[in-house]
Amino acid sequence: MASNTFAPQLKIPATYMRGGTSKGVFFNLTDLPPAAQVPGEARDKLLLRVIGSPDPYGKHTDGMGGATSSTSKTVIVSKSQQPDHDVDYLFGQVSIDQPFVDWSGNCGNLSAAVGPFAIHAGLVERVPQNGMATVRVWQANIGKTLLVHVPMHNGEVQETGDFALDGVTFPAAEIEVDFMAPGEGAMFPTGNLVDKLDVPGIGTLDATLINAGIPTIFINANSVGFTGTELQPAINDNAGTLALFERIRAAGAVKMGLINSPEQAASRQHTPKVAFVSGPAAYVASSGKTVQKTDIDVLVRALSMGKLHHAMMGTAAVAIAAAACVPGTLVNQAAGGGERESVTFGHPSGILRVGASAQHTEQGWMVEKVTMSRSARILMEGVVRVPF
């Protein structure tokens, strides 16, 4: 029976943007309702309703989400409260089928869109008419600095161009993002480059546990019966396989000190990530393009929010680059070993090259910065309507 209850809708200024291989709803902090301008239940409820979560149908039909980890994202940007920064950037990963927003990590892909959004929103005081605008971004989730290099043309952000990014259908203008000191502090939280990870029901696996870009657990593909050339259906269509990777993720999260028990992993879906690696091999990407063995240094497949990612999360790419440049990690070994300043890896949609420089200090391994190229553009701008 239809209800006659009247529920008005809030109209909140918002911008729908693609950044790298992700999409999200972007807000200027001051445009949010007062109760949602501070962390807490009101903010989380608002963003859940914007995206259309929780959705037991897993479709996000009644919201702005796309029912995947890459498209169930929200971003809040404001004038920076930090010295020598232009804006503060807060990322919320919205669960698809559960009523919570995970604030525990960054989105590297959407990081590329923060610079253009901040300029469009008038949050950056000085930008060149032409050339490159460098937007200094404080990533509030993890307390790190990002430098987003945004091309400008006649005083406006240049969005179109011929830069092709595997996992994105159309070319666009290239945006370079520097992730500064992504592994500052305990980059290897256990102090080991390779750990023995005890996983209930699976056994003991070699694992590299790294906190760079985003906490990530790397295992060898062959240790769980895979080759590293898999595409999404091979993983996502098998509930048993997904459960296996979730057990690995939970065990790794405990060993990294992120949670106290494996049961807590269910309420921390965004971090850590789990990925499996293998030496280079030829495969056909999801686009139908053949990736040759000689095109890449290493194969990497990563899971996000319980599913194999269709390409690669930007923050996981930071972790891949950092691990690849430290001799002895599983990623470095799979890439052939030795010292390096960049890595080109194969993912389900194609390939990506990421630069990094690592050095060994008295405090352990340190990475000064990781650099990658993405692209971003505004898909729609206006207001999003939210029942309240």
Q: Residues with catalytic annotation?
A: 107, 313
Question: At CA 103, angle to CA 53 and CA 41, rounded to 5?
Answer: 60
Angle at which helix 314-324 crosses helix 108-120, to 10 degrees, equals 130
Q: Which residue has 């994202």 as its token pair?
A: 73
Query: Within 13 Å of residue 291, how many CA atoms lie on the same side as its CB?
Result: 27
For residues 40 and 118, what is the distance between their CA atoms, to the nearest angstrom? 24
Helix or strand or coil: residue 338? coil
β 364-374/376-387 pair status: unpaired
Q: Give the H/E segment covering residue 302.
A: strand 298-304
* CA-closest candidate to residue 305, choices 270, 262, 272: 270
For residues 53 and 50, what is the distance between their CA atoms, to the nearest angstrom? 8
Query: Within 13 Å of residue 352, how many CA atoms lie on the same side as its CB?
Result: 30
Question: At CA 371, angle to CA 146 and CA 230, rounded to 5?
Answer: 115
Exposure of 169 by Cβ count < 10 A (0-12 exposed, 13-18 middle, 19+ buried)? exposed
